[in-house]
Amino acid sequence: MRKCNVCKMKKPNFWFKKKPNGDFKKTCRGCERTWWRGFLRMLVKQRELSPAERLGNRLGYMGTAFIMMSPYLLPYDNIGAYTYLAGAILSLPQVWLAKQWNLVVVNLNLLIGYGLYLFS
Ligand SMILES: [Zn+2]
């Protein structure tokens, strides 16, 4: 007998599927495949991230860190403007690959705006 983590009911072992490593799953068969969960599963496309997307994610985090600290660095000899540019360049691949075009436009605007600010 095992306790399901969704319906909290005690059910015999054959109600639980086995994982590839031999352990039983924590959710019983009855709760695993309700029509609602089946519907939600139908809406989601299962996939893994490509290597480019993984790289983009990490660069994106670094870029975000640069953008976050930029406002505080602006008073010190315009270091903030350079970190804004670095942040925009590092964040661009991630939002480009994810096709988040609104954020692509924001980053390009950041590049153009602070580029003009620095070189004029
Ligand atoms: Zn259950």
What's the 43 CA to ligand 1 centre distance in angstroms?
22
4 in Cβ contact with 28 (< 8 Å): yes
Task: Report pLDDT for 12.
Answer: 92
Banded model confidence at residue 33, pLDDT cuts 50, 70, 90:
confident
40 Cβ neighbours under 8 A, 6+ residues apart: none
What's the 19 CA to ligand 1 centre distance in angstroms?
16
Task: Report pLDDT for 90.
Answer: 95
Residues 51-84 as b or e (16 or more Cβ within 10 Å = b) = eeeeebeebbeebeebbeebeebeeeeeebbebb
What's the 38 CA to ligand 1 centre distance in angstroms?
15
What's the 46 CA to ligand 1 centre distance in angstroms?
24
pLDDT tens-digit profile of 50-71?
Answer: 999 999 999 999 999 999 999 9
Q: What pTM was computed for the model?
A: 0.60
pLDDT > 90 fraction of the chain, expressed in percent and rounded: 52
Task: Report pLDDT for 63.
Answer: 95
Q: Which residues surround ligand 1, an ion (CB under 5 A)?
A: 4, 6-7, 28, 31
What's the 28 CA to ligand 1 centre distance in angstroms?
4
- pLDDT over threshold 90, residue 118: no
- Strand, helix or coil at 3? strand
Q: Whole-number mean pLDDT of the chain?
A: 91
